[in-house]
Structures are given as C-alpha cells and as structure tokens.
Chains A and B, each alone.
Chain A
Amino acid sequence: MSTPTATTGRTTARRGTLRALWPGRAGHGFVAAYVVLLIAFGVVPTCYAVYFAFTDGNARFTGLSNFSRAASDFRFVPAVEHVALYLVFWLAALVVLVVGLSLLLHRLSARGVSKALRFLYYIPGALAGAAGVLVWLFVLDPSVSPVSFLLRAMGFDTFGQVVAPGHLPILFALIAFWTGAGGWIVVMHGALNNIPHEVIEAARIDGAGAWQTARRIQIPMLRKWIVYMMILAFAGGTQLFVEPQLLAQASVGVAGRDYSLNQLSYDFAFQNNDVNTAAAISVELLLVGLVVAALFVARSGFFDAD
C-alpha cells in the first residue's frame, strides 16, 4: 500500500478496525469448513447416540435401562470376552513381533535388503478390510490353502475345524497382525533410526552385544512408540467388526455371528429394530475410545499442542 488512493485507504482502514475487533478472523476463516465437518460428523453423532442411549422409542428419558438391557442380553458378556481375548493375542503379537522384527531389520548391514523387506512386510496393508479377510478365508481352508500341509499337520482337515469357535481370537489376531504389522514396523524402524548413533556406539565399546544393546538401550528408547502402538491397537481392536462379520457369512452363521460388540450393536439396530439399545452399546464403545485417546493426549506428552 505504498501509494494509498482514497479507496484502498478506506479498505485498509476498514481492515484495520476489523482486525482490531476480530483478531483471529483469518484463522477462523481457514478452519471454518473443518469445524463444520467436526461438528456434523464428530460432535452431533456423539450427542445423538447419547440421546438415543438414554431414551426409549417414544423419546422418554429412561435412565440406564438401555444399558442394562444391553448388558443383560445373553450375547453381551460373551462378546466382551471375545473382544478381550482377541485384544490379548493381538497386542502380544504386535509388541513382541513388531519390536523384534524392527530390531532385526535395523541390524541388517545391507540397507537395500532392509528397505525391500520393510516394503514386503507393508504390502498386506493394501488388503486392510474385507480383502484381507477373504484372503485368509482361503488360506485357512485346508482344501485350497497354500499352507494346507501345515493345517493338516495340526490336525485340521476342514474349514469348519479351523474356524472352530475356540480358535477365533487367534485367527482374528493373525489377520489383524498380517495387515497392520508392516506399517508399525516402518514406524519402529524410523524410531530406531532416531536413536543417536553415538549412544549405540558407546554401548558397543562398553562391550554390549546385540541383545544387551536392544534390551538396555533400544527398547527403553522405543518405549513411547510402543505405548503409542498399544493404545491405537487397543482402541482399534475394541471395534472388531469386519473379520467376524465376513467369517459369519462364510461359515453360514456358525462362527462369528454376534461375536463382537460392534456386531451386537449392529444387530440391535438392524435386526431387532432397537436403536436405543444399539446406541447404548455404541456409547460404551465411544467412551472407551474417547477415554483412551484423551488420556493418551493428556498424559503421554506425545503431541505437544503448543
């Protein structure tokens, strides 16, 4: 504005007053669309679910009766147990194998090989969701499986035997690990690279072997990443849906029907036409997700929100 004419002078003046009256207006303008989406698809559905969870079909306040109806349903406790068991297997596999494989990959002297392996491990990520489940339906069917000799050696001759109810937590953990581990290995590898080389070198000079370096230096320094992975895996795992749903289809409802809490919520809403009880289960799951996420943001120091 080096040559202010009458008009630009006026706009500048107006801009000046606006700036004084509403200092953050530019920022508000930039985030406006996002805030609309956040409200429409984050806040409103949450409130709506809470509203449904505490009312009945005639919009009367019912206290906790939807929650107790959900909890007393004969499928509820088994569903909680299924999900809990699945989480145990999945989280254990994730921690032990992702950390272990990352450490091994990091020790590889051939950098190209390490990079290629990380990519190969990452590929199943493209099959997240239904595609991965379908592939595993085949892999777990002894009649067509590429590892049918393994399945038969373990005493399974038919698909039905493989997907016996007792095996499901392990199988779902296996599928989740197959699609998700590669991404986490890439993350852990990056975190390992961030450990200053001098530290590792110093340990080596002090006579630490690979195992001691890993146990005393690398794993402790990975701790916050491991916790981060666990938190996300835990929250995601409580939402189990597509794996048991497709398995239920593939086994004509023998295995996997109403297996997880999300399936139960879905069935309440769409089979029993009982959206209020469905909402009660959703609110419980929502609460788990929200509490875990909020605790993590507040306590981990992982994200600095300035």
Chain B
Amino acid sequence: MPTEGHPGASAFRTQPALLPADLEPRRSAARRHRPRNPLPALVLGLFVVFFVLPVLWLVLAATKTDDQLVHGNPLSFGSWHALKANWDALTAYQGDAIFQWLRNSALYSFGALVITLAVAIPAGYALAMTEFRGRRMLLIATLVVMLMPNATLVVPLFLEVNAVHLIGSMWSIILPYAFYPFGVYLAYIYFSTALPRELLEAARLDGCSEFGAFRRVALPLAAPIVALVGFFSFVANWTNYFLPYVMLPQSSQLPVQVGLGTLLDDVPQFNPTVGDLAVQRPELALATLLAITPVLIVFLFSQRFLVTGMLAGATKS
C-alpha cells in the first residue's frame, strides 16, 4: 500500500516527482527602488514563528521538570539535570520500552525500505525503458493507487492479514509498507528522462542481456533516484500510525509512533485515572523528540542531495 498516514504528509509523497526544476530565474539587475512594503516580511516572519515555535518549545520542554513546564517561561531552557532525570524516567518506563519501540520503527522502516528499493527501481525502469504487454495498464494502476491515501486500505488489509494468520508478525507491517507505488512512479519518471535510450541500445548491441543492460547501464546512474525513493519511503513509513496501530496487538512490537500514544495514556494531566505508571509531560516531550530525530536528521542531511534528485526527476513536463 502507499505508505503514509497523515493527510498532510501526502505533500512529501508527491512533491519531488512533480517538482519543476528548482532553477531560480535570473533576477533583473535593475530592481525598482521604492520604499519597501513591510507587510510581506511581517507575514513571512509570522509564519516562521508558527512553524518553528512548537518545535522549539518541544526541544526546550524536554529539559524541564513538570513544574518548570507550567510555571517557567515557556521558551526558557530548563536544566541538564532535569533533562537527565527525564531521560532516566523515560528509559525506565516499562523496562526500556522506548528503545524497543525505536528499534521496531527502525526494523519496519528499513526492512520496508530495502524491499521497496529492490522492487520499485527495476519496476520503474521496466515501465520507462522496455515494452511489454500490460505496461500501460500497470502504469495507470500505479498512478491511481499512488494518489489514493494509504489509510483507505488499512482495515481491509487487517482483514486480509488476519485471514492468513499474520497478525502480530513483523511482515504484516513490512510488506504493506514495501508496496510503494509512488516510488515506482518516481523511478519511472527518472529513468524515462535521465537515461538515454541510445545508451541501452548500444549496450544491447554489445551483447548485454536485458538484465545486464539494467545492471551495467541503468543501475550505476540510479543513485539519485535510489536516494529519493529511499527518503520518501523512509519518512512515510517512520511516521505511519494507523497501520501498525491496527496490526500489532503487543506493546513490545509497536513502532515509536504508536508507542507515543501508549505513553500519552499514562500522562496524568491527560488521563487522570493513571496510577503508579504516571509519565510526566516533559518525559512525553522527550519521547516525542526521540521519535522525530531520525526524520529530522534525514531532512537536514539530504537537502542538497535531494535537490539534485528532484532536478533529475522533474524535467519530464
């Protein structure tokens, strides 16, 4: 299934394929000299606050005690001591549940990533560079499934997986994640624009088999698209909530996203009925921070590489 749960996240899924080349237009040297209207800057600045403030608050919240959270300045740093205390309390929760969840998330996301790449890259290549019966139909099916929100299939998938007695198995998560039509579409766009057909013809004339042509000519050129598909697949799978929420019955199997929900249940301010298990709000903030760190890191480090990939994959139109 196409993998990402959040409606907003569809932006990621569809962004690079269709992203027109990020070529800045040449600015004309002679810009008008008028007194600047301050309004645009004000609006842009306001939205920086809107988008960044909650993240900043989250980072700082992890360094505070619950008391500081309520009474202190919301944008002040707490103390290293409180951060350590939160860390200790969080890691003591249900044994070391948080690490277990992070490990699970990594297992599901990377497991699916490997399969996705192994499946989507050849499929995109074949759709772009070879002729076979059913090609057009497959392409259209891919486009349609790619545009459908992934959550549509969660309950039906549960019924199917339940029928084959795979509920609770890690494959009930990894395999549906691995089905990633958007990745196939990206690879299709990439190969049909970035790989000259003449190059393949030459390889075939030189005696390469079809597979040889793929392996020796197409794959070495595929690094950007591997990175791109990998990025979107990883982010989509890491942030997915609905599918594992439905598929996995045991706490020890949960990915961190669903684990956060478990933690939330034990925060007394949100659920007054919790007893001894109580999780303090700063611990929840710290857990959230840990949960998003891998994606944030990927964001930070893949920026440049991704722009290259987008440029390469986006010149179709």
Question: How many angstroms between the C-alpha atoms of A108 and B11 in the bound complex?
Answer: 23
Q: Is the CB of B11 within 8 A of A134?
A: no
Q: Is the CB of B54 within 8 A of A297?
A: no
162-186 of chain A: CB within 8 A of chain B: 176-184, 186
- B-facing mask of A135-174, CB < 8 A → 1, else 0? 1111101011111100000000001000000000000000
B288 neighbours in A (Cβ, 8 Å)? 127, 131, 134-135
Q: Is the CB of B14 within 8 A of A303?
A: no
Interface residue range, chain B: 35 or more
B120 neighbours in A (Cβ, 8 Å)? 34
A92 neighbours in B (Cβ, 8 Å)? none
**B207 at interface, CB cutoff 8 A:** yes
Give A contacts to B, CB under 8 Å. Answer: 1, 23-31, 33-35, 37-38, 40-42, 44-46, 48-49, 52, 90, 97, 100-101, 104-105, 107-109, 111, 117, 119-132, 134-139, 141, 143-148, 159, 176-184, 186-187, 189-191, 193-195, 197, 200-201, 225, 228-229, 231-233, 235-242, 245-246, 249-252, 262, 265-266, 269-270, 275, 278-279, 281-282, 285-286, 289-290, 292-294, 296-297, 302-306
Q: Is the CB of A241 within 8 A of B151?
A: yes
Which residue in A120, A176, A195 is a CB contact (below 8 Å) of B6? A176
B53 neighbours in A (Cβ, 8 Å)? 146-147
Q: Is the CB of B264 within 8 A of A128?
A: no
Q: Is the CB of A26 within 8 A of B299?
A: no
Question: How many angstroms between the C-alpha atoms of A108 and B55 in the bound complex?
Answer: 25
Question: How many angstroms between the C-alpha atoms of A48 and B316 in the bound complex?
Answer: 37
Which residue in A23, A147, A176, A249 is a CB contact (below 8 Å) of B7? A176
Q: Is the CB of B207 within 8 A of A1?
A: yes
Q: Is the CB of B152 within 8 A of A193?
A: no
- Smallest beta-carbon distance A19→chain B, Å: 10
A24-B135 contact in complex given A45-B153, A138-B281, A246-B261, C-beta closer than 8 Å: yes
Q: Is the CB of A134 within 8 A of B211?
A: no
B110 neighbours in A (Cβ, 8 Å)? none
**B106 at interface, CB cutoff 8 A:** no
Q: Is the CB of B47 within 8 A of A111?
A: no
A134-B10 contact in complex given A123-B51, A242-B5, C-beta closer than 8 Å: no
A38-B145 contact in complex given A134-B260, A286-B156, C-beta closer than 8 Å: yes
Q: Is the CB of B21 within 8 A of A194?
A: yes
Which residue in B7, B55, B130 is a CB contact (below 8 Å) of A240? B7
26 contacts between A and B (CB under 8 A): A24-B130, A29-B126, A34-B123, A35-B138, A38-B181, A40-B175, A41-B175, A42-B1, A52-B156, A108-B44, A128-B239, A138-B281, A141-B269, A144-B69, A180-B6, A193-B21, A235-B147, A237-B7, A239-B5, A249-B265, A252-B273, A279-B156, A290-B148, A302-B18, A304-B316, A305-B136
A130 neighbours in B (Cβ, 8 Å)? 239, 241, 257-258, 260-261, 291
Q: Is the CB of B51 within 8 A of A182?
A: yes
Q: Is the CB of A33 within 8 A of B284?
A: no
Question: How many angstroms between the C-alpha atoms of A121 and B15 in the bound complex?
Answer: 15
A129 neighbours in B (Cβ, 8 Å)? 5-6, 9, 239-241, 257
A126-B295 contact in complex given A41-B153, A144-B281, A228-B18, C-beta closer than 8 Å: yes
Most buried by A among B10, B20, B150: B10
Pick from B23-31, B80-88, B91-99 the stretch touching chain A.
B23-31
B108 neighbours in A (Cβ, 8 Å)? none
B12 neighbours in A (Cβ, 8 Å)? 125, 128, 183
Q: Is the CB of B299 within 8 A of A123?
A: yes
Q: Is the CB of B261 within 8 A of A297?
A: no
| A138-B281, A193-B24, A249-B270 given; 5 more Cβ-contact pairs under 8 Å | A33-B122, A108-B44, A135-B288, A190-B310, A195-B25
A27-B130 contact in complex given A179-B8, A251-B270, C-beta closer than 8 Å: yes
Question: How many angstroms between the C-alpha atoms of A289 and B7 in the bound complex?
Answer: 12
A48 neighbours in B (Cβ, 8 Å)? 156, 159-160, 163
Q: Is the CB of A30 within 8 A of B149?
A: no
Question: How many angstroms between the C-alpha atoms of A194 and B51 in the bound complex?
Answer: 26
Q: Is the CB of A41 within 8 A of B176?
A: yes
Most buried by B among A24, A45, A139, A145: A45
